[in-house]
Structure 1
Amino acid sequence: MLFAILLPGISMIFRGHVLKGILCGILHLTLIGWIPAAIWAVASYREDQAEKRHRETLQVLQQQRQ
Structure 2
Amino acid sequence: MTLIAILLPWLSFILRGRILTGLLCLILQITLIGWIPAAVWACISLQNAREDKRTRKLIRAMKEK
TM-score range, shorter chain: over 0.9
Q: 5+ unaligned residues in a row in structure 2: which ranges?
A: none
Provide the aligned C-alpha RMSD in A: 0.6
Larger Rg: 1
Aligned equivalents of 1:47, 1:17: Cα separation in 2: 14
Specify the alignment match of 2:52 in structure 1: 51
Which residue number corresponds to residue 24 of structure 1? 25
1:41 corresponding residue in structure 2: 42
Give secondary structure in 2 for the equivalent of 1:16: coil
Q: % of aligned pairs identical?
A: 48
Runs of 4+ in 1 over 4 A off after TM superposition: none
Unaligned runs of 5+ in 1: none
Deviation at 1:47, TM superposition (A): 0.6
TM-score of the superposed pair, with normalisation by structure 1? 0.93
Matched residues, number: 64
Q: Larger helix proportion, structure 1 or 2? A: 2
